[in-house]
Structure 1
Amino acid sequence: MTTTFALPVPSSSGSLEQYIQAVNSVPMLTPEQETELATRFQQDNDLEAARQMVLSHLRVVVSISRGYAGYGLPQADLIQEGNIGLMKAVKRFEPGRGVRLFSFAVHWIKAEIHEFILRNWRLVRIATTKPQRKLFFNLRSMKSSFSALSENEARQIAEDLGVKPEEVREMETRMSGQDIALMADDGDDEGYAPIDWLADAHHEPTRALERKAFDHLQTEGIEYALSSLDARSRRIVEARWLADDGGATLHELAAEFGVSAERIRQIEAKALGKMKTALSEGVVIDS
Structure 2
Amino acid sequence: MKSTPLQTALPSDNHALALGFSGTLGNIDAYISAVNRLPMLSHDEEISLSKKLRENNDLAAAQELVLSHLRLVVSIARGYLGYGLPHADLIQEGNIGLMKAVKRFDPDQGVRLVSYAMHWIKAEMHEYILKNWRLVKVATTKAQRKLFFNLRSHKVGLDAMTPAQVNELAKTLNVKQEEVIEMETRLSGRDIALEAPSDNDDEKFAPIAYLSSDMQEPTKVLEAQHYDKLQSEGLEFALTKLDDRSRRIVEARWLANDDGSGATLHELAAEFGVSAERIRQIEAVALKKMKGSLAAYA
TM-score, scaled to structure 1: 0.58
Instruction: Give the match for residue 107 of structure 1.
Output: 119
Among residues 136, 144, 147, which one is paired with 1:132 in the alignment?
A: 144
- Residues 184-199 of structure 1: matches in 2 within 5 Å? none
Instruction: Give the match for residue 175 of structure 1.
Output: 187
Aligned residues: 175
Instruction: Give the match for residue 121 of structure 1.
Output: 133
Partners of 1:144 and 1:93 lie apart in 2 by 38
Q: What is the DSSP-based 3-state SS (H/G/I as helix, E as strand, rest coil) of the residue aligned with 2:111? A: coil
Instruction: Mark the CA change 1:64 to 1:86 in structure 2 (over 3 Å): closer, same or farther.
Output: same
Contact preservation (8 Å) 1:158, 1:168? yes
- Following TM superposition, by how much is the alpha carbon of 1:80 offset from its aligned partner in structure 2, in angstroms? 0.2
Say if 2:45 is the partner of 1:33.
yes
Q: Tell me: higher relative CO, structure 1 or 2? Use CA pairs within 8 A at least 6 residues apart.
A: 1
Partners of 1:15 and 1:5 lie apart in 2 by 15
- Following TM superposition, by how much is the alpha carbon of 1:124 offset from its aligned partner in structure 2, in angstroms? 6.6
Instruction: Give the match for residue 52 of structure 1.
Output: 64
Instruction: Mark the CA change 1:179 to 1:86 in structure 2 (over 3 Å): closer, same or farther.
Output: closer
- Following TM superposition, by how much is the alpha carbon of 1:144 offset from its aligned partner in structure 2, in angstroms? 2.4
Instruction: Mark the CA change 1:71 to 1:178 in structure 2 (over 3 Å): closer, same or farther.
Output: closer
Instruction: Give the match for residue 79 of structure 1.
Output: 91
- Following TM superposition, by how much is the alpha carbon of 1:116 offset from its aligned partner in structure 2, in angstroms? 0.2
- Residues 1-287 of structure 1: matches in 2 within 5 Å? 6=11, 15-122=27-134, 125-178=137-190
Partners of 1:165 and 1:157 lie apart in 2 by 8
Partners of 2:97 and 2:39 lie apart in 1 by 20
Partners of 2:46 and 2:183 lie apart in 1 by 42
Partners of 2:188 and 2:26 lie apart in 1 by 30
Q: What is the DSSP-based 3-state SS (H/G/I as helix, E as strand, rest coil) of the residue aligned with 2:40? A: coil
1:144 partner amino acid: V
- Following TM superposition, by how much is the alpha carbon of 1:5 offset from its aligned partner in structure 2, in angstroms? 6.3
Q: What is the DSSP-based 3-state SS (H/G/I as helix, E as strand, rest coil) of the residue aligned with 1:122? A: coil
Runs of 4+ in 1 over 2 A off after TM superposition: none
Partners of 1:123 and 1:111 lie apart in 2 by 20
- Following TM superposition, by how much is the alpha carbon of 1:178 offset from its aligned partner in structure 2, in angstroms? 4.4
Choose 62-71 or 139-148, whichever is displaced more.
139-148
Partners of 2:80 and 2:185 lie apart in 1 by 19
1:173 partner amino acid: T
Contact preservation (8 Å) 1:57, 1:102? yes
Q: What is the DSSP-based 3-state SS (H/G/I as helix, E as strand, rest coil) of the residue aligned with 1:125? A: coil
- Following TM superposition, by how much is the alpha carbon of 1:162 offset from its aligned partner in structure 2, in angstroms? 1.2
Contact preservation (8 Å) 1:135, 1:168? yes
2:49 partner amino acid: L
TM-score, scaled to structure 2: 0.56
Point out where structure 2 has 5 or more consecutive residues left out of the alignment: 1-7, 193-298
Contact preservation (8 Å) 2:130, 2:138? no
